[in-house]
Amino acid sequence: MSEGTTPRFRSVLDRFVAYKPGKVVVSPEGRSYKLSSNESPAGPLPSVVEAISAAALTVNRYPDNNCTALIDTISATFGVPADHVAVGCGSVGVTQMLLEAVAEPGAEVIYAWRSFEAYPLLVSLSGATSVQVTLRDEAHDLDAIADAITEHTRLIFICNPNNPTGTIVRRPELEAFLDRVPADCLVVLDEAYREYVRDDAVPDGLELYGDRPNLAILRTFSKAYGLAGLRIGFMVAHPEVAAAVRKTFLPFSVNAVVQAAAIASLAATDELLTRVESTVKERERVRDTLIADGWTVPPTEANFVWLRLNERTLDFSAACDAQGVSVRPFPGEGARVSIGSPEENDAFLAVAHTYPHRN
């Protein structure tokens, strides 16, 4: 009999805090504006709700574990072969699958920091070691990332646009960087916010990966496609990478309802992208208003803005909370604020306008 009083857990669990989702706050007057999770402010389209309702009638059966209809629809919509596609439970699920495919103790995974907060968590869980490369002027420092590559590097995340700063990597610098990465090291271009990009200098990963067998493109239905609550994301890469990633799929983890919803959403792409256009317009209005108010806001190509507030971050976040506006604070660094509906954005701008300190 073992001596311990509790089951033995992996030591890695002691070393990090679990993922913290964006919070919801309510003001004393009962107002609540959730700008903490980069979601689409609009509810699902009627055609998508109809597909969800129809699929609900089938849930006594297991879903299609191969997600064949969905993968075929992704393939047709994005003009990529079906065997280049792998799907997962959100793109965060696909990120975990990617790490399960390439990471193990002793392996290194490089990414910019600060970037998407799930990267360090999932890297730790995989047993690999995180190598974080500090942002320069709020953006990826690709030279420093390339310099950090060692013989142990298995995977590099490039988040474009970067969460939480909204900053971008341009095509020539990305290509020059990719040329420096050894062929046996995978680069994952996380394009969760691709649909919000309006700067032509930002490459479309789907146009880049064709002649690069070590490049994988990550996309999600959670943002522009408005399905954050149902959990579906996908990866596009060369068939060898897609096959390796598919092997790590948790059986049935992409359910029947989300498969149907994603197919219906792809059929309504034009309508959904019209909504994205409103978010982009609002993004420019929010940023211009903040700048006119004396704030420093890096140019953003995503559906959020970044305020580097340093030691005032939590104070600012509390001021937002008091008005029912939830933002995403990263204590000691800054606050990320999602672009919501015009009313939600006005509520945030009102707090920013009256906040006594500029950044």
Residues that bind ligand PMP (CB under 6 A): 38, 90-92, 116, 159, 163, 190, 192, 220, 222, 228, 233
In terms of DSSP H, where are the helices of 33-141?
46-56, 68-78, 90-102, 118-126
In whole angstroms, how far apart are CA 86 and each of 18, 75, 82, 83, 162? Answer: 26, 10, 9, 8, 22
In the complex, the smallest distance separating the C-beta of residue 9 from ligand PMP, rounded to whole angstroms, is 25
First to last CA, the chain: 59
In the complex, the smallest distance separating the C-beta of residue 270 from ligand PMP, rounded to whole angstroms, is 22
| Residue 156 bridge partners (DSSP) | 110, 187
Residue with smaller CB distance to ligand PMP, 190 or 321:
190
In the complex, the smallest distance separating the C-beta of residue 22 from ligand PMP, rounded to whole angstroms, is 9
Q: Report the distance separating Cα 123 and Cα 154, nearest Å.
A: 11
Residue with smaller CB distance to ligand PMP, 190 or 323:
190
Q: Report the distance separating Cα 327 and Cα 336, nearest Å.
A: 6
In the complex, the smallest distance separating the C-beta of residue 39 from ligand PMP, rounded to whole angstroms, is 9
Q: Report the distance separating Cα 260 and Cα 44, nearest Å.
A: 13
Q: Is 335 helix (H, G, I), strand (E, B) or coil?
A: strand
Q: Is 180 helix (H, G, I), strand (E, B) or coil?
A: helix
Residue with smaller CB distance to ligand PMP, 233 or 340:
233
Residue with smaller CB distance to ligand PMP, 199 or 315:
199
Residue with smaller CB distance to ligand PMP, 159 or 181:
159
Q: Report the distance separating Cα 315 and Cα 304, nearest Å.
A: 20
In the complex, the smallest distance separating the C-beta of residue 122 from ligand PMP, rounded to whole angstroms, is 10
In the complex, the smallest distance separating the C-beta of residue 169 from ligand PMP, rounded to whole angstroms, is 13
In the complex, the smallest distance separating the C-beta of residue 91 from ligand PMP, rounded to whole angstroms, is 3
Q: Report the distance separating Cα 76 and Cα 72, nearest Å.
A: 6
Residue with smaller CB distance to ligand PMP, 40 or 359:
40
In whole angstroms, how far apart are CA 202 and each of 142, 167, 286, 288, 302? Answer: 14, 10, 22, 21, 12
Q: Report the distance separating Cα 282 and Cα 65, nearest Å.
A: 39
The radius of gyration computed from the CA coordinates of the chain, to the nearest angstrom, equals 21
Closest-CB residue for ligand PMP? 90
Residue with smaller CB distance to ligand PMP, 214 or 222:
222
Residue with smaller CB distance to ligand PMP, 33 or 116:
116
In the complex, the smallest distance separating the C-beta of residue 191 from ligand PMP, rounded to whole angstroms, is 8
C-alpha angle with apex 112: 338 to 9, nearest 5 degrees? 90
